[in-house]
Structure 1
Amino acid sequence: MTDLPLKDRIALVVGASRGIGYESALGLARAGAHVVAAARTQGGLEELDDAIFAATGRHATLIPFDLVDGGAIDRLGGALYERFGRLDVWVQAAAIMGPSGLTPVAHAEPREFAKVEKVNFTGVYRLIRSLEPLLRASDAGRVIHLTTSVAASPRAFWGAYAATKAGAEALMKTWADEIESTAIRVAVVDPGRMRTQLRAQAFPGEDPAALPPPSDIAPLIVELARADLTPPLSVKFSEWQAGPTAAALV
């Protein structure tokens, strides 16, 4: 393994302004990738760029946009093609629970539910559609999609979030099967309990100090992004932590 395993790779991180997305982008940059950071919050992207520059001496490419804007997603693929001609890594970290947080399904406000669906599910479909040609242009495209345990095991009051994340996970796995003959590989990653804003929204009484910080998952993201390893389709962060690292990816 070289000091910079992702040297000169082009890595897009969607949801890069905070939490797991922020730490993934910083980790990828430290591993040598040129990071294209996308998120709604301009200020968060600028803070990330400052951190990347302080760590690497290089700036990221910042793209402020909202996943509810399908046209912006369509334009993203064209803009990346004009600038780079390919995409080597795509990390999909953006997701929302909705402003009301946990709520019974029958009480969900339709407009709020529709926004959660657009960000967590339809946005993922439109990104696949926009980015697949760029990933095909890479010699080893890597897609890392962050999921959640409630996608497979839904619980009361998690309706909109659980359903849309389950849909996105199914979409990613279906797409992975469709592109099996290409050099693109998809990894669906369950980070488990982690110190994120979304977690704090769901469990406001929980002590965040008792949870691992998002920076802990950055080494796994870097490993899954490497061109010289083939990632498994499904990865649990807790299992990766407990076992061997690179040896687990064959």
Structure 2
Amino acid sequence: MTVDLKGRIALVTGASRGIGYFTALELAKAGAHVIACARTVGGLEELDDAIKKAGGSATLAPFDLADMNAIDALGGSIHERWGKLDILIANAGVLGVISPVDHIEAKVFEKVMNINVTATWRLIRSVAPLISKSDAGRALILSSGAAHKCRPFWGAYSASKAAVEALARTWAAETQRLPLRILSIDPGATRTAMRAQAVPGEDPETLPHPSEVAAKLLPLCGPDQTETGKLFVVRENRIVDYRLPD
């Protein structure tokens, strides 16, 4: 399926590596101008080189999502330079630790919630006035199967992703009469640094490469995608209503 995003402005967080990196690259290849956000300047510069090589264009925005003032200012900066936003990929997140709930240090739990939940909410609040006015605004909010499975020792991460899904569903319900379409994304186990941190004994070669996930996300960013307030399960390649774990 060919996706034409020429003239579209796309914002991607966590764009310096993994799913964010390759999704940003796919968006640029499809013609969107990508605003790439991440902490790691080197990774963003590598992405910029890859995008230019593919004939696309990007603007690099290096900052830490823990900097709430920077998130708040982002929407204004986008408005001043482009006057619009068409696509949001809220991808950045942290794992925290794999630990029993009662053993998690308060500062670790707070960091997970701050980056995964509060920063996502501030990001939505910052760009909502822009993306809500797009003729085909599309927002993909990265979640995880952990939000539903609630497996032992993943408490902080699972709780944060459940909260993020609740934010996405609520935002979708509030904007369902607008052209804006919002989906949560469960990418499944993917060959990323976070997955290696979570499951250190796993053979990464048995997992899908993040470029494979990005290729499946690209069609969700185009005008032909009309579902909102639902969950896209990458490994099943389908949009589903929210459900209990199998």
TM, length-normalised to structure 1: 0.92
> 1:77: which partner in 2?
75
Partner secondary structure for residue 49 of structure 2: helix
Look up the SS of the partner of 1:227 in the other structure. coil
> Is contact 2:28–2:57 with CA below 8 Å preserved after alignment?
no
Aligned pair partner of 2:63 in 65, 84, 87: 65
Q: Is the 8 A contact 1:52 1:60 kept in 2?
A: yes
Structure 1 residue 219 displacement after superposition: 2.1
Alignment partners' CA distance in 1, 2:85 and 2:207? 33
Unpaired runs of 5+ residues, structure 2, are: 240-246
The Cα RMSD (Å) is 1.5
Match of 1:225 among 210, 221, 225: 221
Aligned residues with identical type, % of pairs = 53
Shift, 1:70, TM fit = 1.1
Unaligned stretches of 5+ residues in structure 1: 244-250
Determine the structure 2 residue equivalent to 1:18. Answer: 17
Q: How does 1:40-55 map to 2 (within 5 A)?
A: 40-55=39-54
SS in 1 for 2:237: helix
Query: By how many angstroms is 1:9 displaced?
Result: 0.6
Q: How does 1:136-215 map to 2 (within 5 A)?
A: 136-215=132-211
Q: Which residue number corresponds to residue 238 of structure 1?
A: 235
C-alpha distance in 1 between matches for 2:57 and 2:10: 13
State the partner residue of 1:247.
none
Residue deviations 1:218-239 (CA, integer Å, cap 9, x gap): 2222100002331352111122
Query: Counterpart amino acid of 2:60?
Result: L
**CA distance in 1: counterparts of 2:113 and 2:143, whole angstroms:** 14
Amino acid of the residue matched to residue 86 of structure 1?
Answer: K
3-state SS of paired residue (1:60): strand
**Aligned counterparts of 1:91 and 1:74: Cα–Cα separation in 2:** 16
Q: Distance in 2 between matches of 1:166 and 1:95?
A: 13
Offset of 1:137 from its aligned partner?
2.2
Please give the alpha-carbon distance, in whole angstroms, between the structure 2 residues aligned to 1:10 and 1:223: 15
Give CA-to-partner distance per residue, 1:47-83, whole Å, 9 cap, x none: 1101101111x43100011111111110000000001
Q: Which residue of 2 aligns with 1:29?
A: 28
Q: Using the alignment, how far apart are the partners of 2:26 and 2:4 within structure 1?
A: 11
